[in-house]
């Protein structure tokens, strides 16, 4: 069973700051997702990655397979980035289901 840990659990920052959210997992994976959940509850997929680095706008996601670790970075943070960011992994053992972390609640203060 894969254990997915995120840190920090809560993060408050000033607008414009560089944000880093970390995710580590215990068992080999085929892919890792970063997801965003707004207060209304809906989940939006930000990235799926299995190696290296991906960038979309101000968001950057990296993964180190050997260290079983991924980071999500937000550059020039904005109050609209305030949300819960969730890391979820897909096992490398054939099934496609996702195992989720507990999420990081990010609050950006203007």
Partner 1 sequence: EPEVTQTPSHQVTQMGQEVILRCVPISNHLYFYWYRQILGQKVEFLVSFYNNEISEKSEIFDDQFSVERPDGSNFTLKIRSTKLEDSAMYFCASQRDRSYEQYFGPGTRLTVT
If the CB atoms of residues 75 and 102 are measured against partner 1, the closer one turns out to be 102
Q: Are 43 and 35 in contact (CB under 8 A)?
A: yes
Of positions 56, 67, 95, 110, contacts partner 1 by CB under 8 A: 95
Q: What single-letter DSSP state applies at residue 82?
A: -
Of positions 101, 104, 106, 108, contacts partner 1 by CB under 8 A: 101
Judged by CB under 8 A, the number of residues near partner 1 is 22
If the CB atoms of residues 36 and 77 are measured against partner 1, the closer one turns out to be 36
Residue 39 makes contact with partner 1 by CB under 8 A: no
Of positions 32, 88, 89, 106, contacts partner 1 by CB under 8 A: 88
Please give the Cα distance from 85 to 100 (Å, whole number): 11
Residues in the chain: 110
Integer-rounded Cα radius of gyration of the chain: 13
- How many helices and strands, by DSSP H and E, does the chain display? 0, 11
What is the contact surface with partner 1 in residues (CB under 8 A)? 30-31, 33, 35, 40-45, 48, 86, 88, 95-103
């Amino acid at each position: 069973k894969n254990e997915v840990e995120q840190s920090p659990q809560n993060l408050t920052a000033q607008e414009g700051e560089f944000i880093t959210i970390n995710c580590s997992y215990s068992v080999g994976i085929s892919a890792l997702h970063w997801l965003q959940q707004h207060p209304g509850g809906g989940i939006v997929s930000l990235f799926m990655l299995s190696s290296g680095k991906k960038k979309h706008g101000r968001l950057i996601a990296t993964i180190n397979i050997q260290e079983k670790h991924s980071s999500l970075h937000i550059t020039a943070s904005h109050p609209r980035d305030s949300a819960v960011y969730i890391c979820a992994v897909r096992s490398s053992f054939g099934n496609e289901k996702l195992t989720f972390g507990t999420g990081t609640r990010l609050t950006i203060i203007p």
